[in-house]
Amino acid sequence: MKVSPSLLAANFADLKPQLQMINESEADYLHLDVMDGVFVPNISFGFPVLKSVSEVVTKPLDVHLMIVEPQKWVSQVRDLGAEIMNVHQEACVHLDRCIHTIHQAGMKAGVTLCPSTPVEMLRDVIHEVDLVLIMTVNPGFGGQEFIMHSLDKIRRLRALIDETGSKAMIEADGGVNGRTAPLLAEAGADILVSGSYVFKAPDPKACIRDLRAL
């Protein structure tokens, strides 16, 4: 299992030691949640903060944009050196074009689905998507309760990927903890995002190691 700790759960007044912890950990990525107060009912952080973070973090960046019109920000995300740019299917009228623009900028294209969006919405683009991010909570806040029916959705996504021969990885985001992570592994997830469970743990590095061992 790959692990992408979400910085949203960090203490923003004291970021550097937490970024160094991520660098020293076995984390595969650092997950960065950008919120605009329009697509989701919350605002997190923007490019000035991301730029400073990107200068300290040595892990590949997994940027999750919970914003309207994400296609406007492709070059700014590229300039951070991000490996993955995740856009919401619900925020992109021209999703196919957005995926191409992300690829042209040299990044992996991730498409994110809210809990109410069926995986079938991706059937016609799944062959060109590098990653599908399944929201296992409603996006906008850390620390929410895992939505159990998303396990069945991950199984349906795995079936769609196998059926179409897509190479897309499956990432799950929200409410990932010691109880839900094994269920996600069994359902077919490749990458787990985890915010509160990792950052509030007494030993975050051990927590990351345990998730990776699934």
**Amino acid residing at 139:** P
> Of 111-140, which residues contact ligand DX5 (CB under 6 A)?
137, 139-140
Binder of Zn ion out of 62, 83, 173, 190 (CB under 5 A): 173
**Of 63 and 168, CB closest to Zn ion:** 63
User: Beta partners for 2?
Assistant: 191
CB 135 within 8 A of CB 155: no
Q: How far apart are CA 4 and CA 149, in angstroms?
A: 22
List 59, 64, 88, 153, residue binding Zn ion (CB under 5 A): 64
Site for Zn ion contains 130 (CB under 5 A): no
User: Rounded CA gap, 71 and 80, in Å?
Assistant: 15
Which residue from 53, 50, 1 is spatially nearest to 23, judged by alpha carbons? 53
Choose between 68 and 97: whose C-beta lies nearer to ligand DX5: 68
Interaction of residue 108 with Zn ion, rule CB under 5 A: no
What is the sign, positive or negative, of the torsion defined by CA atoms of 169, 174, 175, 177? positive
Partner that binds at residue 204, options ligand DX5, Zn ion, none, CB closer than 5 to 8 Å by kind: none
Q: Tell me if 174 contacts ligand DX5 by CB under 6 A.
A: yes
Question: Is 14 considered catalytic here?
Answer: no
Catalytic residue, chosen from 28, 130, 173, 190, is 173
Examine residue 195 and tell whether it contacts ligand DX5 (CB under 6 A): yes
| The entry of ligand DX5, Zn ion, none that residue 67 binds, CB within 5 to 8 Å by partner kind | none
Between CA 5 and CA 199 the distance in angstroms is 8
Q: Which residues pair with 34 in a beta bridge?
A: 65
Least Cβ distance, residue 5 to ligand DX5 (angstroms): 9
Q: What burial letters (b/e) apply to 25-37, b meaning 16+ CB within 10 Å?
A: bebbbbbbbbbbe
Encoded tokens for 207: 């927590």
Minimum distance of Zn ion from residue 143's CB (angstroms) = 12
Q: Which residues bind ligand DX5 (CB under 6 A)?
A: 6, 8-9, 31, 33, 64, 137, 139-144, 173-176, 193-197
Residues at the contact surface with Zn ion, assessed by CB under 5 A: 33, 64, 173
Residues annotated as part of the active site = 33, 173
